Amino acid sequence: DAKTTQPPSMDCAEGRAANLPCNHSTISGNEYVYWYRQIHSQGPQYIIHGLKNNETNEMASLIITEDRKSSTLILPHATLRDTAVYYCIVRALSGNTGKLIFGQGTTLQVKP
Amino acid sequence: EPEVTQTPSHQVTQMGQEVILRCVPISNHLYFYWYRQILGQKVEFLVSFYNNEISEKSEIFDDQFSVERPDGSNFTLKIRSTKLEDSAMYFCASSDVGMNTEAFFGQGTRLTVV
């Protein structure tokens, strides 16, 4: 599985956009980029995923560079409830597993 | 919205006892997973299960662990003889078929071995 690198922590002002970067320079052509978050030891929550095109849903936008070696998760209007650990995961589906390999993630602190 | 449910939310057990953690995956999902998270550490993959058999397991998932889908709705993780170091949050997850799908997690069971 390709490895990801994320900054350990970031701050963001409430109401502003939070831009969380992720490097995945060894990503393979058939690997997707997934983002999850974990709020205070709750179960990880799916946010968004993509292969090579930019993606947007009701929670966030995912921008993937053309060479696919990095991506950015954008929370357009961060709220205090978005304070969490955010995980960027490259998901390799070997056989039938689809397991997720979590790193340390980025702890996002949204401040009033 | 469908969700993965786990019971109990907190389990305290004595060292050496057997525990069974229970999960009800999302009903039309076919892939099931267990993960654990020791306090202050990252989420770790334990095992994946598909078509009534283990499809992959990590080195953590040794002979003390087993998984079962006893009926059409439940998915269980059994730890035969618990150790202090088994104390952790255990998360169940499930996903649909195919590469382009997301896995949904339950809220976890906090296992405390004393």
Q: What is the mean pLDDT of residues B5-21?
A: 97
Q: Which of A16, A14, A17 is nearest to A112 (CA)?
A: A14
Answer whether residue A96 shows pLDDT above 60: no
pLDDT band at A94 (very low <50, low <70, confident <90, very high): low
| Chain B residues within 8 A of A101 when measuring between CB atoms | 45
The better pLDDT of the pair A58, B71 is held by A58
Q: Residue B25: pLDDT above 80?
A: yes
Residues above pLDDT 90, as percent of chain B: 81
Q: Give the pLDDT band (50/70/90) at residue B89.
A: very high
Give the model confidence (pLDDT) of A7-52 as tens digits. Answer: 999 999 999 999 999 999 999 888 889 999 999 889 999 999 999 9
**Whether B103 contacts chain A with CB within 8 A:** yes
The conformation of residue A31, written as its DSSP 8-state character, comes to: P
User: The dihedral of CA A90, B45, B43, B73: what is its sign?
Assistant: positive
- Cis-peptide, bond into residue B8, ω within 30° of zero: yes
Contacts of A44 in chain B (CB under 8 A): 43, 91, 93, 105
CA angle A95, A97, A101 (to 5 degrees): 120
Q: Judge contact between B68 and B78, C-beta under 8 A.
A: yes
Cβ contacts of A102 within 8 Å, gap of 6 or more: A36, A44, A87, A89, B35, B42, B43, B44, B45
So what's the pLDDT on residue B97? 72
What's the mean per-residue pLDDT of chain B? 93
Q: Which of A42, A51, A101 sits opposite B107 (nearest CB)?
A: A42
Residue to mutate among A100, A101, A104, A107, with most B CBs inside 10 A, is A100
Size of interface A-B (CB pairs under 8 A): 69
Rounded to whole angstroms, the Cα distance separating A97 from B54 reads 9
Interatomic CA distance for residues A20 and A106, integer angstroms: 8
